[in-house]
Amino acid sequence: MLAEFLTWWTRQWQTLVPISSKLLPDGKTPGVTVRVQSTGDDLNISLEIGGDGQQTVVLPLNDEGLALLRAMPGAKHAPLRLLLPPGTILERAVSLPSAVERDLGQVLQYDMNRLTPFTVADVFWDWVVAGQDKRLGKLDVRLRLAKRDKLAPILGALQTYGLHPDCMESRGAQAGSPFRVIRLKQEKTTRSARTPIRIAALAVCCLLFVTLCATPFLRQQIEIATIGRQIAALQPSVAAAASLRRSITADAESNSVLSVERSLSGAPLQVLASVTDALPDGTWLTDLTLQQRVLRLDGESHAAAQLIGKLAGVDLIGNPAFIAPVTSDTDRHTDVFSISAEIRP
């Protein structure tokens, strides 16, 4: 009792799962199958949702079954296939040149009268490429046919319920033969015509992808070229600034040399001015030497003894002293002197 209840409960929950989300063991979407079974002279048509076995939901093809189908989640977008009795779809092997592969649909449509005893208007038809021999330039095609007059009542009955199959399937007449499929919602004659459009669309997509990938590099090159032009425009100013900088550096070096020499020997003009201010009237110099901050004065004066005190009072001059005895010039009534002093920094 409990097992039956759980089975019923599981089936109820399965009806809430969208049909398009269910998967068969082979990974395919089960969709909705309109199964046509032959029972003597009559045909039994039913709706099947799901896969094989216990997961299959069978509905009658009537208003009640159609209402239940539409109430199932995802039934509107689930694929609809028409499963016909074995042997309904005929198949013939056709060998064609490989050059017709692009226009295979048009070639088969044009040669239908020659390849089969039917016209295009008498059958539903489709094909599948079974193989290709590039060495011989041959294309092996399996042409599949189903007579319209046999299927017209079935399709008419389905259309009255608003059902339009995506494809029809049936096995071969022999037991265990594989399924043969004819697609109904795809025009075979236009498939090859769409190929150039698809190729063009693919080429456009590739071009857009390449453009998208190359855009950053192109922008970088444009920016580099712009910066290069700006640098070239600034080169004269840069050269002038560099020349001015070199001149300033050279002047600074010259000033540094002068400063060093001045620090070693003292400022000659300042020393001369200080000595001139310090010496009293009646004193004149015959020689003045300034070397390595050592000042030597040679000359004559009416009061040579006062010169040491005068020079000692100058801030710039330090340690003045006679370096030779003072002698008297009786003819000129003057004292001849030689004084040495240091120049303070």
Query: What pLDDT is attached to residue 36?
Result: 74
Domain of residue 309, residue span: 268-343
- Look at the block and give the residue holding tokens 């990938």: 213
**Is the residue at 83 inside a domain?**
no
Q: Are 301 and 275 in contact (CB under 8 A)?
A: no
CATH of the domain at 314: 3.30.1360.100
Alpha helical stretches, state H, the chain: 2-14, 63-71, 104-110, 112-115, 148-160, 188-265, 268-278, 307-312
Q: How far is CA 196 from CA 102, 127, 132, 208, in A?
A: 9, 20, 21, 18
Q: How many domains, in total, are found in the chain?
A: 1
pLDDT of residue 39: 53
Is 32 among the domain residues?
A: no
Please report the pLDDT score of residue 27 as a whole number: 37
Amino acid at position 76, single letter: K
Residue 335 lies in a domain: yes
The dihedral region occupied by 182, where left means phi > 0, alpha psi between -120 and 50, and beta the remainder, is beta
Q: Per the domain annotation, does 290 fall within a domain? A: yes
How confident is the model at residue 10, as a pLDDT?
A: 66
Residue 279 lies in a domain: yes
The verdict on residue 132 lying in a domain is no
| 306 occurs within a structural domain | yes
The pair of structure tokens assigned to 8 is 């019923």
Give a yes or no: residue 316 inside a domain.
Answer: yes
pLDDT value at residue 333: 80
Are residues 181 and 125 in contact, defined by beta-carbon separation less than 8 angstroms?
Answer: no
Cα–Cα distance for residue pair 45/75, rounded to 1 Å: 18
- pLDDT < 70 stretches in the chain: 1-2, 5, 8-31, 37-62, 65-66, 68-77, 185-195, 257-266
Q: What is the DSSP letter of 290?
A: E
Helix (H, G, I), strand (E, B) or coil at 176: coil
